[in-house]
Amino acid sequence: MANRAYNFNAGPAALPLEVLKQAQEEIIDYGGIGMSIMEISHRSKQYEQVNDETQQLVQELMELPAGYKVLFMQGGASTQFAMVPMNLLTPGKTAAYVLTGSWADKAYKEAQLFGETYIAAASKEDGPLNIPALDEIQLPEQAAYLHVTSNETIAGTQYFAFPDTGDVPLIGDMSSDILSRRFDASPFSLIYAGAQKNLGPSGVTLVIIREDLLRESPATIPTMLRYDTYTSNNSLYNTPPVYSVYMMNLVLKWIRNSGGIDAVERLNREKTALIYNAIDNSGGFYEGMAAKKDRSIMNITFKLQSDELEKKFLEDASANGFVGLKGHRSVGHMRASTYNAVPYESCKALAEFMVDFQRRNG
């Protein structure tokens, strides 16, 4: 489509064109009811079907074993930073965090509001941005859980294997890489993700929780901040973000129709290889910011040799239809987010642009 931008935004981010077109069609008349899904009760059979089907799609695409519930919440991943310790950090226990960057730090800081915390491992302070080796992770006595951030959206680093925590619940913030690759969910007791990177528009937060994790939630937690409110009411205790869930439903079907998780992962790897190759073959003109072994297949962070050149790069990129390449304000430099819905063609165009920019400015 001629007027679609090469969209590398970090979040909210690109949505599949097919999904946008279907949503456009259905916004006037959903399934012949003469209204959109936004305009009817969340207790209607139409919405209930969207709600149930979207849960099933998550179960199916992630191949979740029995015993997990799929929940739809609000407040973004940032609210989960608080809900996790509120519900799970009980007196006498310690919450452990692996600190890998801005998002893990925020989750850790929030837990400090609720009880004892412990830094199980942390990324190196100098050199390339990294994920600590799994054998560096240490659990405290009486650990309530271990929290990891599977993909650090700002740093551009990602876990490619997860720690074995035995009986200690493992919790993952997967906001920026959920459903981008195959992984075994069974070691995790709780996974959460704001939708606006890989799953749909903002407004809904996906939570996947093992039912046996809920037993000890303190009775004083407000109703809307308790996981059991959502598990026992099929995520329909109050009015859910109906349109965001509907959009997630369309995105999940798009993943299924694209060949499922393995096909999506293969394409994501091909997409990022194009851009990482442009960096690695540049003879130092571009420099990747993440340690090679920890390079994210969702967020590619890189530098050029001067502020001036970076400014020129962004201006030139913008003039050529590329959007969202400026790094997060906390780290600066460049970042290309290549979530599931970012087409291969956009990544190819960016890689070619990078080579061409180097030729003109190197």
Ligand X SMILES: *Cc1c(COP(=O)(O)O)cnc(C)c1O
Catalytic residues: 103, 173, 197
Minimum Å gap between C-beta 209 and ligand X is 17
Q: How far is CA 273 from CA 270, 278, 357, in A?
A: 5, 8, 18
Which residue, among 255, 260, 248, has the nearest Cα to 52 in the 3D structure? 248
Query: Which positions from 238 through 277 interact with ligand X, judged by CB under 6 A?
Result: none
Site for ligand X (CB under 6 A): how many residues?
A: 12
Question: Which residues 6+ apart lie within 8 Å of 145 measured at CB?
Answer: 84, 88, 89, 95, 96, 168, 169, 170, 171, 189, 190
Q: Which of the ranges 75-83, 215-223, 246-254, 311-319 carries the binding residues for ligand X, by CB under 6 A?
A: 75-83
Q: Quick one: which of 55, 94, 130, 153 contacts ligand X (CB under 6 A)?
A: 153
Question: By C-beta, is 173 or 294 nearer to ligand X?
Answer: 173
Minimum Å gap between C-beta 36 and ligand X is 24
Residue pair 158/177 in contact by the 8 Å Cβ criterion: yes
Q: Is 126 exposed, middle or buried (0-12, 13-18, 19+ CB in 10 A)?
A: exposed
Q: Does the protein bind ligand X through residue 77 (CB under 6 A)?
A: yes
CB atoms within 10 A of CB 192: 25
Q: How far is CA 139 from CA 143, 162, 353, in A?
A: 7, 14, 46
Rounded Cα–Cα distance for residues 57 and 39 (Å): 24
Q: Quick one: which of 76, 128, 163, 201 contacts ligand X (CB under 6 A)?
A: 76
Minimum Å gap between C-beta 102 and ligand X is 8
List the structure tokens of 248: 């997630």
Minimum Å gap between C-beta 63 and ligand X is 22
**What is the CB-side half-sphere exposure of residue 164 using CA atoms within 13 A?**
2
Minimum Å gap between C-beta 168 and ligand X is 21
Q: Give the β-pairing of 157-158 and 116-122.
A: unpaired
Question: By C-beta, is 172 or 343 nearer to ligand X?
Answer: 172
Q: Does the protein bind ligand X through residue 192 (CB under 6 A)?
A: no
Question: By C-beta, is 110 or 116 nearer to ligand X?
Answer: 110
* φ/ψ (deg, to 5) at 190: -150, 135
Q: Which of the ranges 36-44, 76-84, 207-215, 319-327 carries the binding residues for ligand X, by CB under 6 A?
A: 76-84
Q: Does the protein bind ligand X through residue 173 (CB under 6 A)?
A: yes
Q: Does the protein bind ligand X through residue 143 (CB under 6 A)?
A: no
Query: Which positions from 12 through 31 interact with ligand X, judged by CB under 6 A?
Result: none
The binding site for ligand X (CB under 6 A) comprises 11, 76-78, 103, 149, 153, 173, 175-176, 194, 197
